Amino acid sequence: MPKVVIKKDGRKEEFIPEKIIVSAIKSGATPEIARNIAGKIERIGKEEIESSEIREIVLHELGSINPEWRERWLSYDKGVKRIYRHYRDGLYE
């Protein structure tokens, strides 16, 4: 199971499967499907995994079941990243 996620900017953070589950559910997937997707990533035999690899797996899995879920995930992900950038850049205090 991956223990560390390498973010796009090089930061490293703990791998938390619940983040995948929450984002998949918010995209429309059932809790069971969301847990299956997170489980697939957990079974990858690496200590570290890049966030882009996680993203590709999630998008592939969601899109193979329901293409609309894939589009919703992309929209959700974009919104979360925009909020993070605002906090990081000090727009919200």
| Residue ranges with strand state E in the chain | 4-6, 12-14, 48-50
The residues of the chain scoring below 70 in pLDDT are 81-93
Single pTM value for the model? 0.80
What was the pLDDT predicted at 76? Answer: 80
Range of the domain at 67: 4-88
Supply angle C-alpha 30, 15, 1, rounded to 5: 90
Q: Is there a domain that residue 26 lies in? A: yes
pLDDT, residue 2, reads 82
- pLDDT tens readout for residues 58-77: 999 999 999 999 999 998 87
Residue 68 lies in a domain: yes
Give the chain's domain count: 1
- Structure confidence at residue 80 (pLDDT): 72
Q: Which two tokens stand for residue 10?
A: 């090089």
Q: How far apart are CA 49 and CA 12, in angstroms?
A: 10
43: three-class secondary structure by DSSP: coil
Question: 35 lies in a domain?
Answer: yes
Burial label for 43, CB within 10 Å (0-12, 13-18, 19+), is exposed
Query: What residue type is assigned to position 69 of the chain?
Result: W
d(CA 29, CA 49): 23
Is residue 93 domain-resident? Answer: no
